[in-house]
Structure 1
Amino acid sequence: MNIIKQIIFILLSLFLLYFSFTTIRQIVLYGPVQLGFGESFFLAFLINLCVTGIFAFPGFVLPTHRILPNGYYAIKNPSKVMKWYRILGVEYFQKLLMLFFWGRKANRKKFFDGTKSGLKNFNYLSKQSEFGHLGPFIIILLIAIFFIFSSYLLLMIFTVLINFIGNLYPVILQRYHRIRIGKILSN
């Protein structure tokens, strides 16, 4: 059953890759058409969702965080992470996640069951989640730059804003979690 799930999730990822590529291609082929506020927001949201899904689906079934070296996940300057956590208001993002998604106890137990071995699993899942948001964050920024050169200013602005909230905030949040996990495990 596990191999079937892996195949399905990888196929979903490949479909999102194809869909993202063709959507962006169509936007560019139409030339610098004036997109309205709603159209630009919708396309930016769709692009962010699809590109993030390209990375998320394999991360649900494979240890994708291993693509980056372990040294990347080591937090060399925790005070810098904490500073950005506060400046960007990631704590409010975290509260919204708790309110709308992770608030139910059953959902939280998927990440952390309250045991020491649960902390190790939470650490692993934080790396998976971070990679699943870091990859799309970088790709979407490149797409946004592409939109600028294609004269889609409003689409670029929405793409970057949604990308920051949907991908940069989770990266910072996962690094914040690992700082806290490291403090607990070192005691």
Structure 2
Amino acid sequence: MRRTLILSFIVVLTICLTYGLVRYIGPHGFLFAWSLNLMLMMCVYGFTETLKSPLSSAYYDEKKWELRGQRYELLGIHFFRKLLVWIGWEKMNKKDNPVEKSTKALLHLHYRTKQSELGHIIILFIVLGFTVFVAFAFGIVESLWLLFLNFVLNLYPIFLQRYNRPRLERAIVLSRHREGREKK
């Protein structure tokens, strides 16, 4: 019951904050697109942290068409990873979630990739809705910042999580195998 109330509060707060952005900044331009994405990231982070779903859907499994990450490599995922290192995101992220060699730590990191992907998917669709609205109401040019930032701040992070998760799964298998040998 308490969790449902918190989740409902987060949804209502997100709607109110979004309304405030539309009212006081206007639903177009870089400032609105940037503010909307950052505000949604904070709200969705709170939502997914409160939800604590096991995220066991088959959606999160690697798909055949992904070709073990080759599709994402063609889309420039390595450049995006370098960009994250360059702006300091990786360093900040490692400080909050240090990578350890234990299976437990790898499983936690695996779960976090699913949680992050879910959050970015939610934001992607919300911002996409705003992009379509702004394109029809104010013209395509006015919606370009929303579209561009949606790609950079949401679509590519989804690609990154989908690219990293199968590698983590292989590391988990190896870690379990190594821990099984050490117990003998």
TM-score higher than 0.5 here?
yes
Distance in 1, Cα, partners of 2:155 & 2:77? 10
- 2:100 aligned with 1:102: no
Deviation at 1:144, TM superposition (A): 0.4
Aligned structure 1 segments of 4 or more residues deviating by more than 6 angstroms: none
Distance in 1, Cα, partners of 2:12 & 2:19? 11
1:143–1:53 distance in 2 versus 1, CA, 3 Å: same
SS in structure 2 of the partner of residue 75 of structure 1: coil
Q: What is the CA deviation profile of residues 95-154 of structure 1, one whole-angstrom value per residue up to 9, with x for unaligned ones?
A: 23234022269516x153221111111111110110010111111111100111102423
Distance in 2, Cα, partners of 1:138 & 1:106? 28
* Counterpart for residue 63 of structure 1: 52
Q: 2:99 aligns with which of 112, 117, 122?
A: 112
Native 8 Å contact 2:116 2:161 kept in 1: yes
Distance in 2, Cα, partners of 1:65 & 1:169? 23
Deviation at 1:13, TM superposition (A): 5.9
CA RMSD, aligned part only? 3.0
- Structure 2 length-normalised TM: 0.76
1:104–1:89 distance in 2 versus 1, CA, 3 Å: same
Distance in 2, Cα, partners of 1:146 & 1:73? 30
Q: What is the CA deviation profile of residues 41-100 of structure 1, one whole-angstrom value per residue up to 9, with x for unaligned ones?
A: 11111122222333122223432564xx61111112263462332233222222232340
- 2:166 aligned with 1:179: yes
- 2:38 aligned with 1:49: yes
- 2:128 aligned with 1:141: yes
Distance in 2, Cα, partners of 1:90 & 1:163? 15
- 2:8 aligned with 1:19: no
5+ residue gaps, structure 1, are: 29-34
SS in structure 2 of the partner of residue 135 of structure 1: helix
- Structure 1 length-normalised TM: 0.75
5+ residue gaps, structure 2, are: 175-184
Aligned residues: 170
